[in-house]
Amino acid sequence: MTEKQDLYALLGLTRNASPEEIRRAHFEAARRLHPDTNRAPGETELFLDVQEAYETLSNPQKRTKYDASLPPEKALGTLLDQKILFSRQSLLRSDEPQVIYVMMELAAPVGLKTRPAPPLNLCLVLDRSTSMQGSNMDVVKATAVQIMRQLKSQDVFSVVAFSDRAEIIVPATHSTELGKQEARIQMLQPSGGTEIFSGLELGYNEIVRNVNRSQVNHIILLTDGRTYGDESKCISLAQQASKQGIGISGLGIGSEWNDNFLDELASLTGGSSMYIPRPQDIQHALLDKFNQLGKAYAEETRLEFESSEGVELRYAFRLQPEAGLLSFESPVMLGPVIWDNSLKVLMEFVVHPEAVQRTTATLLNGKVSITLTDQLPPLKSIPIQLVRLVLDETNAEPPPVEIVHALSRLKLYRLQEQARLEVTAGDYEQAAEHLSRLATHLLAQGERGLAKTVLMEAENIHQRKSFSQQGGKEIKYGTRALLKSGQSAEE
Amino acid sequence: MMITCQNCQHKEISGAIYCSKCGAQLIDAHVSTHKIRTAETRREVERSTIQLQPPPSPPLQSWISLHIIESGQILPLTDRTEFTLGRSVEGQPIVPDVDLSPHNAYANGVSRLHAAIKLVKNQAVIIDLGSSNGTYLNGVRLSPHIETLVAHGDLIYLGKLKMQVLIN
């Protein structure tokens, strides 16, 4: 039996799905694939398959018979190589909370031949406010044109520009028909303020017209300014986009933009955020992002779980391919799995006494859903369950080196994160202290430039009770970039 | 069972690996000592019956000095009667009295707290502090945590790091 004929996979379900889950999955798939509304070729046939699958799975007798005919369930292995490491081999039966780290690594299966790049459905949402005047605008335009020329025949491309209001510069067009659109990009003139929502909304509309799960749907937002008052509207739009498999990545130029906001857009949708300090770095960053999209094996991975009683996911961070903070609540958008670099996520769980009463404790029970770019929808999913034994004594075994190394880097990012929270809370003393600790670690690791910036910011906080726009970003994205080097600095 | 950070006294809940306040590592110091194969050390130790030059005379102000064979450097130990030998690591509260990091300690398999040298009843002794790769005295591996007399000219291995004891 080939994978496409697996009725559960067809509905994006695992084999232990409840009747209610089956009903819901069918409803969603049927609505999306209905011949009246579907878009891509092949979807009508898929719709019929989905109907058939539902007929079998919704009938208990037929389902039992079908289950018996299935080959033993293949693990995630056939779709993704996975590796899960725990910081401790067992938990302690204790009346105090304890913490455990889990590192999850997902990669394209070893030995699988690299397939050609997936089709892209890409929209560039470009800030054209007055502040972009000069080299920023010139580089952005030139890079947009460069990307346009690198598109492959199956790609769909659109460009939206925004200031106080937004305008479609290039409507969603198949790359073969783009023809004279280059000139329209070249004619962009900066003027006006920055209202991100108007731009994001138009960009979203262009993407949605061609949205299709078997391609990479992505919005790249490029801005140098701060948007006022419409953040929450942007966030709801991002949540909507995320449900439809559309990623959003934010590229911030200079020091004025709102980094927390762009980080949130990215973490909600499985995209990434990037800090571009100088105009000359725009081209590199934008092309990098574009190339990254073309390397997707799985366009999107999503961790859905039910929280167990007494277990709290306190922190989740993607270490690679693109470092970034993740959501701590289900669903966690993990982002794409690319061909040449695994997806690595580090999670921190706090386990409270009520969770360690029995012989085992479940940290997380859920599934990883993935969208493979070269296969027809719907999502495929793999059950995932993180369970540890509970013992009466401490296990002395040291944590895996990989986890220790990752944490040795992540702690730097988290020190600055804490300092930020403390500044917001008005605890300037503590913030400055955290920063000076951070500087010590950075100095010891030979990061003199960054250490100096950190010390200057500590001084700044004493005097002006806030981070400077630029320093704050340099520290945040500087410590984040250190994660990329992957190697531990401790040794 | 809370963990107290040795560096800043901050309390962390059990299972934490780094202190969230100061970033110091909280777990056992030996976790990441570079492992070298025992056989490798043995071979090195056996080969080391090489003729040593007559030991250079130690500097006067110290009762004992260590002659690092590889670099030829002499480390005088002054002012105290007990010294810990090891390798400092960024973010670690444990700093040995004699930090061997500049002498390629990591690659040679020196633990963070590897061994100690003490003056007991006017005699020098060495104690292995439960190091990962062991302490060897004239080619013999020492049992951890047991004092062994050392004499002028003795050859000590901390993992693979060779040094000669010079007693004044």
Per-residue pLDDT tens digits for A48-76: 888 888 888 888 888 888 887 776 554 44
pLDDT at A374 over 60: yes
Residue A166: the pLDDT is: 92
A421 touches chain B (CB under 8 A): no
CA dihedral defined by B121, B124, B129, B130, rounded to 10 degrees?
-110
pLDDT in tens, B78-135: 777 888 899 887 766 667 888 898 888 888 889 888 999 988 888 889 988 888 888 9
Q: How confident is the model at residue A13 (pLDDT cuts 50, 70, 90)?
A: confident
Q: How far apart are CA A364 and CA A343, in angstroms?
A: 19
A491 touches chain B (CB under 8 A): yes
ipTM exceeding 0.90, yes/no: no
Domain hosting A97: range is: 76-114+297-391
The answer to whether A94 contacts B14, with C-beta atoms less than 8 Å apart, is yes
Contact A399, A88 (CB under 8 A): yes
Residue tagged 């007990």 (tokens): B82
pLDDT in tens, A316-338: 999 999 899 998 988 999 999 99
Burial of A243 (0-12, 13-18, 19+ CB in 10 A): exposed
The answer to whether B15 contacts A87, with C-beta atoms less than 8 Å apart, is yes
We report the CATH number of the domain holding residue A309 as 2.60.40.3670
Quick check: is A446 in a domain? yes
A192 touches chain B (CB under 8 A): no
Residue A379: the pLDDT is: 60
Residue B48: the pLDDT is: 46
Residue A180 CB coordination number (10 Å): 6
Q: Which of A100, A404, A437 is the closest to B15 by Cβ?
A: A100
**Chain A residues close to B27, C-beta within 8 Å:** 398-399, 404
pLDDT in tens, A241-261: 998 889 999 999 988 889 999
- What percent of chain A is modeled with pLDDT above 90? 35
Mutate to test the interface with B, among A90, A93, A96, A99 (most CBs of B within 10 A): A99
Residue B141: the pLDDT is: 86
Q: Which of residues A435 and A395 earns the better pLDDT score?
A: A435
Lookup: tokens for B139: 């080619």
pLDDT in tens, A435-480: 988 988 888 777 888 988 998 899 888 888 888 888 999 999 999 9
Quick check: is A491 in a domain? no
Same domain, A373 and A304: yes
Domain count, chain A: 4
End of a domain among A391, A414, A447?
Answer: A391
- What percent of chain A is modeled with pLDDT above 70? 93
Same domain, A222 and A346: no
Quick check: is A83 in a domain? yes
Dump the DSSP string for A103-148: EEEEEPPTTPPPPPPPPEEEEEEEE-SGGGTTHHHHHHHHHHHHHH
pLDDT in tens, B37-70: 555 555 555 454 444 555 555 555 677 889 888 8
A415 touches chain B (CB under 8 A): yes
pLDDT at B161 over 50: yes
**Chain A residues close to B89, C-beta within 8 Å:** 490-491
Lookup: tokens for A201: 């909304």
Rounded to the nearest angstrom, the minimum Cα separation between B161 and chain A is 17
Same domain, A26 and A81: no
Q: Which of B16, B22, B27 is the closest to A437 by Cβ?
A: B22
Same domain, A142 and A248: yes
The answer to whether B16 contacts A99, with C-beta atoms less than 8 Å apart, is yes
Q: Give the residue from chain A lying closest to B28, CA to CA.
A: A398
Quick check: is A443 in a domain? yes
Helix axis angle for A401-425 and A448-464, nearest 10°, is: 20
**Chain A residues close to B23, C-beta within 8 Å:** 411-412, 415, 437-438, 441
A437 touches chain B (CB under 8 A): yes
Quote the DSSP letter at residue A71.
Answer: P
Lookup: tokens for A453: 């910036």
Q: How far apart are CA A231 and CA A269, in angstroms?
A: 15
pLDDT in tens, A400-410: 888 988 998 89
Q: How far apart are CA A181 and CA A173, in angstroms?
A: 10
For β-strands B140-141 and B135-137, DSSP reports them as antiparallel
Same domain, A268 and A132: yes
Residue B57: the pLDDT is: 59
Q: Which of A98, A100, A441 is the closest to B23 by Cβ?
A: A441
The answer to whether A434 contacts B21, with C-beta atoms less than 8 Å apart, is yes
The answer to whether B15 contacts A401, with C-beta atoms less than 8 Å apart, is no
pLDDT at B31 over 70: no
Q: Which of A88, A396, A415 is the closest to B23 by Cβ?
A: A415
CA dihedral defined by A190, A193, A194, A197, rounded to 10 degrees?
-110
Kindly report which listed range (A2-11, A64-73, A411-420) carries the lowest average pLDDT score: A2-11
Mutate to test the interface with A, among B2, B5, B14 (most CBs of A within 10 A): B14
Same domain, A369 and A461: no
pLDDT at A2 over 60: no
Q: What is the mean pLDDT of chain A?
A: 86
How many Å is the maximal CA-CA distance in chain A? 73
Domain residue ranges of chain B, discontinuous segments joined by +: 1-30, 38-167
Q: How far apart are CA B47 and CA A486, in angstroms?
A: 38
Residue tagged 């939206």 (tokens): A160
* C-alpha separations of A192 from A138, A202, A252, A381, A428 in Å: 17, 17, 18, 46, 36
Quick check: is A464 in a domain? yes
Contacts within 8 Å (CB) and 24+ apart, B148-156 = B149/B123, B149/B124, B149/B125, B150/B117, B150/B124, B150/B125, B150/B126, B151/B124, B152/B55, B153/B52, B153/B55, B155/B48, B155/B52, B156/B66, B156/B115, B156/B126
Q: Where are the beta strands (DSSP E) in B29-131?
A: 64-68, 74-77, 82-86, 98-99, 113-120, 123-128
The answer to whether A407 contacts B31, with C-beta atoms less than 8 Å apart, is no
Contact A157, A170 (CB under 8 A): yes
pLDDT in tens, A258-287: 999 999 999 999 999 999 988 888 999 999
Same domain, A245 and A361: no
Dump the DSSP string for A400-418: PHHHHHHHHHHHHHHHHHH
Q: Which of residues A270 and A114 earns the better pLDDT score?
A: A270
Q: Give the residue from chain B lying closest to A402, CA to CA.
A: B32
Mutate to test the interface with B, among A88, A89, A98 (most CBs of B within 10 A): A98
Contact A221, A200 (CB under 8 A): yes
pLDDT at A303 over 90: yes
Q: Residue B137 is which amino acid?
A: L
Residue A3: the pLDDT is: 44
pLDDT in tens, A174-209: 888 887 788 889 888 988 888 999 999 999 999 988
Residue A490: the pLDDT is: 38
The answer to whether A407 contacts B28, with C-beta atoms less than 8 Å apart, is no
Same domain, A217 and A182: yes
Q: How confident is the model at residue A4 (pLDDT cuts 50, 70, 90)?
A: very low
CATH class of the domain at B38-167: mainly beta
How many helices and strands, by DSSP H and E, does chain B display? 1, 13
Phi/psi for A69 (5° steps) reads -80, -10
**Chain B residues close to A97, C-beta within 8 Å:** 13-14
Same domain, A288 and A314: no
